[in-house]
Structure 1
């Protein structure tokens, strides 16, 4: 299937390609009966449809709704009827009127079961239910799509979106509702494992073990087998707690080691400063997660059971944090996540606390800045195909849409990818003015030169993964002019003015970044709570629960998700340096000449 034929599969792709596919699909329907009246109907429907597509392509969705609606009201027997229903679902989705999108996506399944857009309508239906936070019908629609579709692009989108729902959105009661429904084997396995993990986290030991054992019985070599065995093995009486011992989980080797090192150094600096003024010194037990959720889970179990740590800091990545949080909550071990960006991690259980603002906010912030401040209108996204990547891409789309811009292409890549040529060529064909790359440093320094090689002359945009000296040094001229966002409370001090930056430089001989500051703040909060004298995990949890807010190295620090409302600072790579973009400063996008 060519790129033009596939482009309809994503609701944010250019409508010119949509039109080509819709026109081409007319030949898939049975021939219409002859007769002058029928020809008049088809001619009128075709004219309405063309006007509707023109309106949609111009982002005039209300007018598009009128044209497509007339086709269904007055020309329902025309060959354009199911196309119009599909375009209505897209138009209502673009208008954020999800009830309308649901109604017309459902109508395709009911009134046009042989439509070539049946599967696409299921995807729109599921996405609309997600936007309305109706997660069970959303999951059902994704499951129906996975069960019936043979389109690899749709299947990948459906599986990834359903997995994110299962891991981060669906409550235990909703998972129990879904787990006994007919489902593909891999989906059923994910439902069983995640339900078992969440039941353990909620303190329902027997029920949680039962679901995990059921998973292992049916899928002994499945994707979650190692984690299920670890959770079952962890469900045992707690080890003797060492009240002055803290466990730190971070990827110290592998592709994310820059982040792990920064968190570790921030934690160590905070610990050293605490121990200088407190008689009861704290000690750290540091475990390497390798950036892998299974390794993170096993290392966390070792720190809890063998080392008896009173609390955990980390892991660094959202995927690893989600895995460890279930175990920590089930065992009653307080965990502070300094850097994970999945916004609902702190809802996993009462022992789980989160410091970093979510990636959702970062994407929305840079999307709005690009459209409203930089005047960019046609934007593309190239993101990793993991929970973080899809989350920040989704919020970027929202920020762009609210700023009046359009996403003309979206591509994802697997972790470990080194050749991005296929993604880049697809993006180049859409002729974007800017490309948003919410990647990690090692990914950015590979992607940027390949964009230049394939003649993509577009403004580069990024999230806080770009806030790294490694990006500037290794990216060289290929990252020059890039603009990226970094979370920073408007009310708190910056890293540069908090005093932390100078102390960090004296200790480690290098500049501090936001990741190190978050590690420092996580440990400073934990040390402050331990200074009050709790000697067990429950007492520490209570202290953490009561912690309010204070100025820290990264800004205003709080463990209460509803209190932390970070502002954002925008930076640009200019002449080999990272410089802050001041409020109101005009930023000339790459490729534009000054007037």
Structure 2
């Protein structure tokens, strides 16, 4: 094995304050040899802005433009480094390595060289080349001139040595590596592993020999303590990132989810027979851009094995895509948008997406309500479109008929034209039926084609699917009753209406409605009552939807960690096998190709109560 210390590129990297670093740093050699041009500076600044906004593809394109042909300007070294950083963020690790190789070859004295060594370590870590990663971090410790950077490299090195390198690799590293600053960390890790593996005499001798030769080592106390305790297995806390909107417009939801996570840690996280869980919490401030920034901070920490987040669908999608590119499992406790689970093998959507909810509702209506004829009315937005389209596709595949689809924009104050069109479509269909006279009250035959006669009920429509936002339900359900559509009501997730007992008028319009939901609270269930009472005592508030979603997400992750998922890849494999996890909000099953919860609660409104059908 080659001696890694002699093949060092001698680069270092600081992840923080990247925009200021790139803009300000240039070597004296570069400044004297190259002349600044406004065009290059403008283009480079644009690339930096793209990078800091999380627009890595565009940042990479700017770097490629700056490096075209035989580029000779004052920003070539910076562009090479930014190209490496942008490619790294996109998961294009070989492209990043190639850019750093070019930087070393063409600018051996550039200050950027110091900031590439740690990046090489992170690249090796992401590619699961853990011995190589350890070497790169050791070289940062030996050659880095920045105290903060060396401290960060020591933390990353410890993660790799303690959690990722097997005993044989530690021995190889000890034999080939001779750097005075990093060697104590290798000796500590190797001695611990040997003693924990039953080779106590070898571990003790390693410590004794090292302390004899290096009496002033900064790790002396740790080494002496290790020799005294006899190498008990190292049980480190597992670090989990949390990205939630703890301030801003979505703070109520974010704080609720976080309270559920904290409660889970208090009651389960330290009593599950596994390692302690350390949460690293970041506030996205209800901002998509900030969600990306804080997610990237967490992903740059090799000790973070998973991330839980976000609340907003768009922020969840963006953060999950970043995590997936870095091979870090990402648990989405709230999002229901279609396609999030499809971002990659590291993304787990703990709620059923809209497509699955709509399909479950269609199957229930067709099989259990014996419904065959349907209409839909939905808001013309992403939510309404996804729900209505998935429901219609499922009904078509089952053999049912959607004979009218209606959409609305904004607040649905007056949907008279839409409901009249639905009535007309129902009457036309009835008129074609040879038994159409049996569908209407006696004496109504002369009026069956008059859709304006709302006193004549429409009875040949089996069900109306209305995936509405909660604030629209009262308005639309009231108009549906006025236009006398005698059909089953099927709704979406937002039909889980609070305080129904206080609103008798709304009860009249929605009674009997069947809908899908990610969570269900049975207030009479003994398990829930114990949970609610203890939550109130410990957290000082009553748990509701958001708290339940956070609680279940944390407990599911604890279960996966307890089953041996302490590394990112192990955790991903364990999460992908989760089947029938019984949470407080309902069941969770992720063992499907999409890694989206396949369990859906089918509920019904009965008076002021909500009951579970299946």
**Larger radius of gyration between Structure 1 and Structure 2:** 2
Give TM class, smaller chain. Answer: 0.3 to 0.5
Tell me the TM-score normalised to structure 2 length: 0.47
Tell me the TM-score normalised to structure 1 length: 0.48
